[in-house]
Every structure is written in structure tokens, then in C-alpha cells.
């Protein structure tokens, strides 16, 4: 019998739900309530992108100010799933068609480099954020998807040296305690962390490097004045030689050119009630993160202390109320793990990631403004890495060069930052995924 689900209440400071990770960190405190009037660099947006750019600029001797329109840690960077992957969505073949073989290879390499770099950065800076090179179990939602997943992963092994292991349906319980899938692959390089602890560690590093950090301070306007920029905020103007725009899924009309190039899309998570250890061990016999081949992907994992399951997915495209997304996620989680119908959830939250029309992240300069964004839902590694590279570019360090430099950042006619097409696209893909799942379950019954 299903137990009553505990409805998550939004916290005063989140604005988008009750985030499990926020329970585990001390208050995130700014350095000042008002921004400095004159700096070398002002960074708009205090997430992984903005903090990494700021740390790099400050360590190179630039007077640096970070501002965020909300309280610190409000954005995606403390509310994600904590799953770190190489991030590049288009395949080598697709990128080769677009850019030629050399550039395609270089772009794909940046994904692996971001994964390696974030791990070594966390280690060398001694950040306490439950980082683990745990690997990922990527599960197939139909037999046909298992075949193509194995084919694609074998190609990655051959072409890009990706270490993997194929897990048949018969052996699936060694990875995941469910019969909902048809086998999968283990991707051994993928990693996990506690995103809010990571953010908190970055904030400390930024402060130690001398970065000034001000919260509740929206950038309202950016104007050029001679060789400098003036960023207008309700707490005073900031004059800066360089501006970094690091607003990702929360980009507004502040820079209309950027707003026309990123597609904000909601993604959703819940944290279950504390679960019996034996149940966690049965459902997650390893500590890996997990995801599946559904077009509207589900991603989930045990919490770092293995007391709960943290389950995420895109149960809508535009829902902003975690009281509505929570029950939908719980329902979908119980389809995969029927035992969890006996347990509720204590936390439900949402956030906005940024997709792009070419499904690649982008960094560069527009009208003299530096930007990095568009991580397409996988930004822990890439936002960190590109934030750091952007900082290097800004201070003139040649190591800042990346394979993304000078790639065209596409938009579409009639797109001005409001993705009116998304709800119907997500609804169609979810319908198709569920139809495929039902049909595959029917096939299994026929085969049995």
C-alpha cells in the first residue's frame, strides 16, 4: 500500500522549492551588501561559471566583483543532481559534418578535459564536497535502445578511448535493483559530488582570492563608457573594464543577443524519505550515478551518505511549482523502483538549465562582454571548466584558448528568449518514451 507522500514546502530563501543539498551547508555569506563602485572585472551571476571566472581573474591580480540578483547559491549550481559527465551532446560524426574532423575531435576532447579538470581542481584545492569517481550506469528503456546504446558506446571506446562495461539485462541487478530496464552500460569515468558543498567551497576560494561578492544585486543595465562598462544595479553603479555575463538558464533581456541564443528549460528533482539501508543497498548495490536512454531522461543516485534516493527528470518543460512536479516525479520513480511506493519524499525542487540550438556550450565575447553558457543540462564540469577558461581569456592568458572559440552561436528566427515550443515538444517526447516503455514491457511478456 502506498504511504502518504510528504509534500515539500518551499523554503523562504529558495523561491523554487526545498532543495535537499541546502540542508547540508552553512549559510552562504556575501562579502558586502553593496558592490564596489570601480573594479577591473564585474561578474554577473554567482554560479559555477561566474565563480570560476572570478577566481581566475582575481588570482591573476584583477580587482573583481561578483553580483547575483538573488541570495548566493540560488541558481542551478546548488540544486543540481551532482552527476558529472563529459557534457558534449553531439556525436563525433555530427560535429565532423558541422566543423570538419579536426575541430570535431577538439570539441569532443573539451568534454573529457572538463571532466578531468574539475576532478583535479577539487583535489588540488582540497574542496570537501563528496567528490567520487563513481561511474555511471546508463540504462536502456527498450531492447532496441540497449542494442544502439551498446553500439554507440563501443564506438566511443574505439574512437575516444572511453572505458566502459556492458551489463546485460540478466546481470542488471548488480548495478540497479530494477527490472524496468533492458540492460545498460557502465561509463567508468563519470563522477559525482554534492553540488552545494562544491559551490560553498568555490565561494570560499573566491573570497580568499580577494573577490568581492554581493547578493540581492541584479544587473539592470550595461552601458559602454569610453573603454569601460557601467553596470547599473539598485545598489549603485559599477564601473569595470571587463564584464562577464554568467547567467545561463536565468538569462534575461539584460543582453538580448544572449537571451536569443539560450533556451531556458525547467528540470526537477525530489529527495525521498530516509530509507532502510538494506533497501538502498538492494536498489543501488554500487555508488554509481544512474540515468537512462529515454529522450526525456531520468537521472538519479543515492545521496552521498546513502540514506536517500535523489531522483530527477523533466516531468514538464515550464512548470515552476515544485508542489506539482514532486508527485509526478514520485510516480515515475515508483515505476522504476516499485518498492519506493511505500515511501514519500521530503524535498522537491526545480531549476532552469540553458539549452542551445546546436546543443553545444558557448563561450566568447559579444560587444565586448565576456560570456559562457548553454551547458544543455550538464554544467557541473563544463560550467566550471569554461568559467575558468573564460577567466584566463579575460586576463590574456593564452592557456584560455578552447575548441569552442569562434564557433558560431546560433539563434532562430522569431526566437526572443521565450521557448513557446518547449511544452509541446517535451509532452510529445514523454508520450513517445512512455509508449516505447509500455510496448517493450508487452514484448517481454510475450517473450517470457
Ligand X SMILES: Cc1cc2nc3c(=O)[nH]c(=O)nc-3n(C[C@H](O)[C@H](O)[C@H](O)COP(=O)(O)OP(=O)(O)OC[C@H]3O[C@@H](n4cnc5c(N)ncnc54)[C@H](O)[C@@H]3O)c2cc1C
69 vs 407, beta carbon nearer ligand X:
69
Q: Which is nearer to ligand X, 150 or 329 (CB)?
A: 329
Residue 46 or 129 with smaller CB distance to ligand X? 46
Q: Report, in Å, the least distance between residue 101 CB and ligand X.
A: 27
What whole-number distance in Å separates Cα of residue 421 and Cα of residue 142?
27
Tell me how far, at minimum, the Cβ of 109 lies from ligand X, in Å.
18
Minimum separation from the CB atom of position 28 to ligand X (A) = 11
Looking at the Cβ atoms of 18 and 77, the one nearer to ligand X is 77
- The nearer residue to ligand X, 363 or 440, going by C-beta atoms, is 363
**Contact present, 57 and 394 (Cβ < 8 Å):** yes
CA dist., res. 244 & res. 242, Å (int): 7
Q: Which is nearer to ligand X, 142 or 251 (CB)?
A: 251
Where does this chain bind ligand X (CB under 6 A)?
44-50, 67-70, 74-77, 79-84, 218-219, 246-250, 252, 254, 267, 269, 299, 312, 351, 353, 373, 375, 377-380, 383
- Radius of gyration, CA atoms only, the chain: 22
Closest CA to 255 of 150, 369, 359: 369
C-alpha span between 42 and 67 (Å, rounded): 8
Q: Kindly tell me which of 48 and 137 has the beta carbon lying closer to ligand X.
A: 48
User: With respect to ligand X, which residue has the nearer C-beta, 49 or 393?
Assistant: 49
Q: Of 12, 17, 40, 93, give the one whose Cα is nearest residue 242.
A: 40
Are 176 and 215 in contact by the 8 Å Cβ rule? The answer is: no
Q: How far is the CB of 209 from ligand X (least distance, A)?
A: 17
Which CB atom, from 47 or from 344, has the smaller least distance to ligand X?
47
At 211, give phi and psi (nearest 5°): -70, 135
CB of 269 to ligand X, least distance (A): 5
- Give the nearest distance from C-beta 77 to ligand X in angstroms: 3
Tell the smallest beta-carbon distance from residue 366 to ligand X (Å): 16
- 86 versus 440: smaller Cβ distance to ligand X: 86
Buried b (16+ CB within 10 A) or exposed e, 301-322: bbbbeeebbbbbbbbbbebeeb
Helices (H) and strands (E) in the chain, counts: 10, 18
Find the shortest distance in angstroms from Cβ 199 to ligand X.
8
Spatial CA neighbour of 240 closest among 19, 435, 394:
394
Nearer to ligand X, 196 or 340 (CB): 196
Closest distance between ligand X and the C-beta of residue 439, in Å?
29
Query: What's the closest the beta carbon of residue 399 comes to ligand X, in angstroms?
Result: 21
Cell numbers for 10 = 518551499
Are the C-beta atoms of residues 49 and 373 closer than 8 Å to each other?
Answer: yes
Give the N- to C-terminal CA distance of the chain in Å, as an integer.
27
212 vs 33, 279, 396, CA distance in Å?
Answer: 10, 46, 21
**Which alpha helices (DSSP H) does 223-370 contain, by range?**
256-259, 277-283, 322-336
Distance separating alpha carbons of residues 415 and 419, to the nearest angstrom: 7
How near is the Cβ of 71 to ligand X at its closest, in Å? 9
For ligand X, the closer CB: 68 or 433: 68
Neighbouring C-alpha atoms within 13 Å toward the C-beta of 271: 24
DSSP letters of 204-264? HHHHHTT-EEE-S----EEEEETTEEEEE-TT--EEEEEEEE--GGG--TTSHHHHTTEEE
Closest contact distance (angstroms) between CB of 358 and ligand X is 16
CA distance 190 to 319: 29
With b meaning 16 or more CB within 10 Å and e meaning fewer, what string describes 112-148?
Answer: bbbbebbbebbeeeebebbbbebbbbbbbbbeebbee
Amino acid at each position: 500500500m502506498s504511504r502518504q507522500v510528504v509534500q515539500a514546502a518551499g523554503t523562504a530563501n529558495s523561491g523554487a522549492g526545498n532543495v535537499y543539498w541546502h540542508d547540508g551547508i552553512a549559510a552562504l555569506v556575501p562579502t558586502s551588501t553593496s558592490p564596489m563602485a570601480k573594479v577591473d572585472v564585474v561578474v554577473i551571476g554567482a554560479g559555477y561559471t561566474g565563480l570560476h571566472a572570478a577566481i581566475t581573474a582575481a588570482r591573476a591580480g584583477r580587482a573583481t566583483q561578483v553580483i547575483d540578483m538573488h541570495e548566493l547559491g540560488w541558481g542551478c549550481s546548488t540544486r543540481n543532481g551532482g552527476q558529472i559527465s563529459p557534457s558534449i551532446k553531439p556525436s563525433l560524426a555530427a560535429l565532423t559534418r558541422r566543423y570538419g574532423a579536426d575541430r570535431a575531435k577538439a570539441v569532443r576532447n573539451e568534454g573529457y578535459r572538463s571532466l578531468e579538470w574539475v576532478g583535479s581542481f577539487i583535489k588540488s584545492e582540497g574542496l570537501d564536497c563528496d567528490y567520487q569517481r563513481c561511474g555511471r550506469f546508463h540504462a536502456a528503456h527498450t531492447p532496441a535502445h540497449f542494442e544502439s546504446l551498446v553500439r554507440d558506446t563501443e564506438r566511443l571506446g574505439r574512437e575516444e578511448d572511453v572505458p566502459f562495461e556492458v551489463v546485460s539485462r540478466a546481470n542488471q541487478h548488480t548495478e540497479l535493483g530494477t527490472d524496468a530496464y533492458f540492460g545498460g552500460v557502465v561509463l567508468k569515468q563519470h563522477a559525482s559530488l554534492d553540488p552545494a558543498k562544491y559551490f560553498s567551497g568555490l565561494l570560499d576560494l573566491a573570497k580568499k582570492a580577494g573577490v568581492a561578492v554581493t547578493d540581492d544585486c541584479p544587473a539592470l543595465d550595461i552601458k559602454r563608457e569610453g573603454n569601460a562598462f557601467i553596470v547599473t544595479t539598485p545598489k549603485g553603479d559599477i564601473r569595470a573594464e571587463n564584464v562577464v555575463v554568467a547567467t545561463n538558464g536565468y538569462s534575461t533581456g539584460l543582453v538580448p543577443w544572449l537571451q536569443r541564443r539560450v533556451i531556458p528549460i525547467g528540470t526537477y528533482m525530489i529527495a525521498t524519505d530516509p530509507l532502510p539501508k538494506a533497501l538502498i543497498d538492494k536498489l543501488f548495490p554500487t555508488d554509481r550515478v544512474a540515468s537512462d536512454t529515454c529522450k526525456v531522461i531520468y537521472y538519479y543516485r543515492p545521496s552521498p551518505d546513502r540514506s536517500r534516493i535523489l531522483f530527477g527528470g523533466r516531468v514538464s518543460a515550464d512548470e515552476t511549482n515544485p508542489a506539482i512536479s514532486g508527485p509526478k516525479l514520485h510516480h515515475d520513480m515508483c515505476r522504476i523502483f516499485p518498492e519506493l511506493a511505500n515511501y514519500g519524499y521530503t524535498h522537491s525542487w526545480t531549476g532552469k538549465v540553458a539549452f542551445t540550438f546546436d546543443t553545444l556550450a558557448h563561450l566568447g565575447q559579444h560587444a565586448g562582454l565576456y560570456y559562457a553558457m548553454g551547458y544543455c543540462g550538464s554544467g557541473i564540469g563544463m560550467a566550471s571548466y569554461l568559467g575558468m577558461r573564460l577567466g584566463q581569456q579575460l586576463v590574456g592568458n593564452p592557456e584560455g584558448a578552447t575548441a569552442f572559440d569562434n564557433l558560431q552561436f546560433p539563434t532562430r528566427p522569431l526566437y526572443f528568449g521565450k521557448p513557446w515550443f518547449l511544452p509541446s515538444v517535451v509532452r510529445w517526447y514523454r508520450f513517445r518514451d512512455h509508449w516505447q516503455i509500455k510496448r517493450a514491457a508487452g514484448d517481454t511478456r510475450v517473450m517470457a
